[in-house]
Amino acid sequence: MNECYYDKRMDFFYNRTKADTADEWTGPQLIGVLCFGTFFCLFIFISNSLVIAAVVKNRRFHFPFYYLLANLAAADFFAGIAYVFLMFNTGPVSKTLTVNRWFLRQGLLDTSLTASLVNLLVIAVERHMSIMRMKIHSNLTKKRVTFLIISIWAIAIFMGAVPTLGWNCLCDIAVCSSLAPIYSRSYLVFWSVLNLVVFFIMVVVYIRIYMYVQRKTNVLSSHTSGSISRRRTPVKLMKTVMTVLGAFVVCWTPGLVVLLLDGLNCTDCGIQNVKRWFLLLALLNSVMNPIIYSYKDDEMWATMKRMICCSSEDKSQERRSSRIPSTVLCRSTDISGHYIEDGIIQGTICGKGDLGDKGNS
């Protein structure tokens, strides 16, 4: 009967697989990686929060496509949490971790990847439902969209927990991988092949949908300009989704290929030397998505900009209102001058409301 090693710390497994690269994350290199990661994690949290808030605030985004886009932003936000946890549990610290803490570290990363991947797959189905009917949005109800979002996270959490549930090498260390010292090589093969196949399927589906839309748009080119504009709107949404999917595939494929090579026990592939850079490339994906949303979708960018500007204007108005009493007292004591000055101040602060009242009168 095989002996199990649940009570061992990670240094036992790292030393056994000769994965000594964790010791190289020291000095200036470790500081640089931590600074780089901290900056981008902060950007991930702020930018994806803005995307979610924009979808909630703007009623024009209250459609299934944008709900799923907000959920994709939530997956990127969760990825930021996973990267923060990883930063504080990597390098020399890796070898001091318990088995359960290491499972949690990797499980968070796997969950974030699965959530993004399944979300993109659901968006592909939603786009197919709407595009084939030449509609901007599908007829999915809010209840169905909510069910889909809950299902996405349920699948993601389950896939992230699979190694913890038993598909690991703690009781058969002969099949342990090198990059993930307590993951079975067979699991890495399954995980990487499954994700790569889903990548390929989604790329094919989106290309077919895009070609269909372009063909239909050309056929309908003889219609009025307003009709053409409505027909082109699905194309714009498709371009946004395809750009997001392209960035996702580019950022995650190298890491998945490395995991596949490790699962196939390729000892001469030098995977230990490139794993950290491919992990940083995966981090960049969560940074790129909010930029893609704002660049490709004018309404999304306008909504995000309004939220940022309104926040700064509110703070400015609070500062100015707090200075009003002192400003008035420092002015001339002439009563008429006081009224004029007070009116100017109120007009500056409440100009929009006054103009509205005048217009109504």
Reduce the secondary structure of 133-184 to three states and give it as a string. CCCCCCCCCHHHHHHHHHHHHHHHHHHHHHHHHCCECCCCHHHECCCCCCEE
How do residues 208-224 score in pLDDT, each as one tens digit?
A: 887 777 777 676 655 54
pLDDT score at 343 = 38
Spatial separation of the C-alpha atoms in residues 258 and 196, rounded to whole Å:
12
pLDDT score at 25 = 57
pLDDT score at 91 = 76
* Statement: 10-222+234-309 belongs to CATH 3.50.50.60: no
pLDDT score at 240 = 77
Q: Decide which of 353 and 270 is more confident.
A: 270
pLDDT class of 18 with cuts at 50, 70, 90: low
Q: What integer best gives the mean pLDDT of the chain?
A: 77
DSSP 346: H
How do residues 228-245 score in pLDDT, each as one tens digit?
A: 445 555 667 777 778 888
State the first-to-last Cα distance of the chain, in angstroms, to the nearest integer.
Answer: 90
Spatial separation of the C-alpha atoms in residues 136 and 63, rounded to whole Å:
10
pLDDT > 90? residue 89? no
pTM for the structure as a whole = 0.77
pLDDT score at 192 = 92
